[in-house]
Amino acid sequence: MAAILAAATAASAALSTLHVSGRSSLTRTRCHLRAITASLSSPSEFNITFAPSKPKPPKTLDSDELGQQLFIPWIVRDQSGKLTLQTTPPARLLHALADAKTQKKKKKESKVVVATATVEPKHSKAARRFYNQNFRDPPQRLSKVLASAGVASRRSSEELIFEGRVTVNGSVCNTPQTRVDPARDVIYVNGNRLPKKLPPKVYLALNKPKGYICSSGEKETKSVMSLFDDYLKSWDKRNPGQPKPRLFTVGRLDVATTGLIIVTNDGEFAQKLSHPSTNLSKEYIVAIDGVVNKRHLIAISEGTVIDGVHCTPDAVELLPQQPDISRPRLRIVVHEGRNHEVRELVKNAGLEIHSLKRVRIAGFRLPADLAFGKHIELKQSNLKSLGWKS
């Protein structure tokens, strides 16, 4: 195209400087110009087509641009309450659009990601071996395991083992010193399987009522263990995943005696608490039928012979008379704890017992507001007052 225009320009310049001598020369020159012009304006030379332009994507407008470009007559109410005509949207609409945009953005950002449950890792044999060697409880003596499981006291557990009533991994075991692991070894006592997971230690203080015995051998007599039926029924709810303990009393109170008795599943604790070598003092309140004088107190304090052993109390005291109690009451403290010791002391003095109640063992005293047949769980401080360090 540029070459054609340059040729036309050169021809015009030559025409302006040309010396025409005659009319025929001028005519010939004009004919040449028409031919050049015709060749330049030929449609075959200028048939140029262009590709159609791509449509532009529609532009999304935010609330501010929308308010600036919408020239729509809006009828709004001004501050004075009159209706007016304006070309911009009301401020309320613009604020509403902006708030909607902000809320949408916040909604996207506040999507909650639900965490998927992680699968427990599988530990290698080396890791399990390291755990067993360094953190797992070491094997213990068979007699101690039985006592910890609440089967019996340490001494009674040894007797069960010597009698051949305990099997370990299918074989009768007669040696209490045998090291066992309840989680690995299969232990049976009197045909009953010892649980792999030992129950937690339980320490309870019961206010024993009259008419209950401290053993479960006689079906026709009420046992103090029946007072813990509700406690054991709700055990799974209070201690999920823990086996139920086998409870027994620490020492005994005869069927007519009321008051404090300790109930546990810890055989070692029971053995230490009931062993005579501990010399734990026990306090009793005795209601007497009849009159008590100084002679009776001296006779009780002098003691009596029980099973060939002379037993004397630690203290004897006549309690002050109370308006709501007609019978005289004695406070007697003993530490040996022989069978029916307090009853024998009072009987030897020529007195008749109306009621007998134990109110204290060592440093733990029976709560005054604890009703008959009810119990409480012993705290660590209570166990220390009983001389036990767990």
CATH code for 281-361?
3.30.70.1560
Strand pairing category for 179-180 and 203-208: unpaired
Closest C-alpha among 152, 245, 247, 239 to residue 206: 247
pLDDT of residue 359: 97
CATH topology of domain 140-193: 3.10.290
Give the span between the Cα atoms of 105 and 28, in whole angstroms: 82
Tokens describing residue 281: 């003092």
Shared fold status for 203-274+370-386 and 281-361: yes
Q: Return the domain boundaries, the chain.
A: 140-193, 203-274+370-386, 281-361
Q: Give the number of other CB atoms < 10 A from CB of residue 96.
A: 13
Closest C-alpha among 356, 341, 374 to residue 263: 374
Read off φ and ψ for residue 312, nearest 5 degrees.
Answer: -125, 145
Residues 118-169 have pLDDT tens digits of 455 666 777 766 666 555 667 889 988 888 787 877 788 899 999 999 999 9
pLDDT of residue 97: 82
Catalytic-role residue among 137, 236, 254, 289:
254
Judge whether 324 counts as a catalytic residue: no
- Residue ranges of E strands in 303-373: 304-306, 309-311, 315-318, 329-334, 352-361, 364-365
Q: Which alpha helices (DSSP H) does the chain contain, by range?
A: 2-16, 23-40, 63-69, 91-109, 125-134, 142-148, 154-162, 229-233, 235-238, 267-274, 294-302, 341-348, 380-385
pLDDT of residue 171: 92
Q: Match 């001598």 to its residue by tokens.
A: 21
Q: Give the number of other CB atoms < 10 A from CB of residue 6.
A: 10
CB pairs under 8 A, 24+ apart, for 122-130?
none
pLDDT of residue 21: 46
Listed in sequence order, the residues at least 6 apart from 169 whose beta carbon sits closer than 8 Å to its beta carbon are 185, 186
Residues 181-234 have pLDDT tens digits of 888 899 999 998 888 888 889 999 999 999 999 876 555 568 999 999 999 999
Entry field: residues in the chain = 390
pLDDT of residue 100: 83
pLDDT of residue 18: 45
Q: Is 382 left (phi over 0), alpha (psi -120 to 50) or beta?
A: alpha
For each successive 10 residues of the chain (390 residues), what is the average pLDDT?
52 49 52 53 52 63 53 70 74 80 71 51 68 67 84 83 93 92 90 86 96 72 89 90 87 94 89 84 96 94 90 94 90 88 94 96 95 96 87
Closest C-alpha among 246, 260, 265, 285 to residue 209: 260
| 203-274+370-386 has CATH 3.40.50.720 classification | no
pTM above 0.85, yes or no: no
